[in-house]
Amino acid sequence: MRRSLTAAAAAAACFAAPAAGQISVEVSPLRVELAASPGGTHTQAVALTNQSDKPVRIRARVEDWYLAKDGTPQFKAAAPDAWTSAARWVRLAPPEQVVDPGKEGVVRFTTTVPAATAEGGYRAAILFEFSPPGADPVARGRDVLFQTRVATIVYINVGQPAIQVDLTNLVVRTPAGRPAEVVATLKNGSRANLRTKGTLTLYDRAGTVVRQIDVPNVPVLPESERDVAIPTAGERDPPLVPGDYRVELKLDVGMRELLVGETVLTVAR
């Protein structure tokens, strides 16, 4: 197995600057993508930096996951017939450790793809759970665990399965207190893990381009349906003047042809 891409993103277990006694652990990388062959093995390390002022116990475990239609990750055991699950392929070392303040722990995971594995996009997650070294297990499970865990997502792409994706819907919605967004519904009928890229272009009545927005780079899992929300304004973009705008989406998901869709955005006076 060879590594095709490792995203060097990192996140902390708490999302604000840690107060005294608060657990804060940085995890890197948060996403790993592997190009694999049946029978192949790959080992990689995840770094865990304790940014707290006290020692932290870190427990690692392998879990299955999927995305809800809106893109929210859901962690749970896979159904017995879920062919996309790769959790059973992953082994961790060590599964538990205590990391002192300011120090870095390392968890290595080894992925072994069974020899008879068919082409497709497989996945697993490594969940890291954080607690004080002497925390009561019952209290930790009830009060601490949900708030102090971070996952490294692992995509394992075996072979190059044919890609088949349909753009089944394109609508405009306006969330409360935020600019309008265009929501593209994608149906991935293939066995491939995909990611999106492309552009959303707004035209005024005269056909002039008034704004062009990059489509978010988000995953679309095999044999699933996904809503991709594309905001029509960034933080620094001025509000659109009232009127009707033609919206054109051009989406690249790895097929020979682009997915193209149109809709209308109306900005009220």
Helix (H) or strand (E) holding 88: none
User: Strands across the sheet with 96-99, in order?
Assistant: 2-7, 31-36, 149-158, 120-131, 56-63, 96-99
Judged against a pLDDT cut of 80, whether residue 69 lies above it is answered with yes
Q: Give the separation between CA 53 and CA 59, rounded to whole angstroms.
A: 19
How many C-alpha atoms does 111 have within 13 Å on its Cβ side? Answer: 29
Poorest-pLDDT segment among 88-97, 175-184, 215-224: 175-184
SS3 141: helix
Q: Can you read off the two tokens belonging to residue 217?
A: 């780079």
Poorest-pLDDT segment among 28-32, 133-137, 181-185, 255-259: 133-137
Indicate the burial class of 130 (C-beta count within 10 angstroms; 0-12, 13-18, 19 or more): buried
Q: Give the separation between CA 99 and CA 145, rounded to whole angstroms.
A: 17
Q: Where in the chain is the domain with CATH 2.60.40.10?
A: 2-158, 165-267
pLDDT of residue 156: 97
Q: Give the separation between CA 97 and CA 102, rounded to whole angstroms.
A: 15
Contact 111, 6 (CB under 8 A): no
Residues in the chain: 269
Nearest to 178 by CA among 234, 228, 226, 216: 234
pLDDT of residue 80: 75
Under CATH, which architecture does the 2-158 domain have?
Answer: Sandwich (2.60)
Judged against a pLDDT cut of 70, whether residue 139 lies above it is answered with no
% of the chain at pLDDT higher than 70: 87
Judged against a pLDDT cut of 80, whether residue 206 lies above it is answered with yes
Contact 124, 90 (CB under 8 A): yes
Q: Give the separation between CA 56 and CA 132, rounded to whole angstroms.
A: 5
Tell me: the pLDDT tens digits for 81-138? 889 999 999 999 999 999 999 999 999 999 999 999 999 999 999 999 999 987 655 4
Q: What is the pTM of this model?
A: 0.85
Q: What's the CATH number of domain 165-267, 2.60.40.10, 3.40.47.10, 3.50.50.60, 1.20.150.20?
A: 2.60.40.10
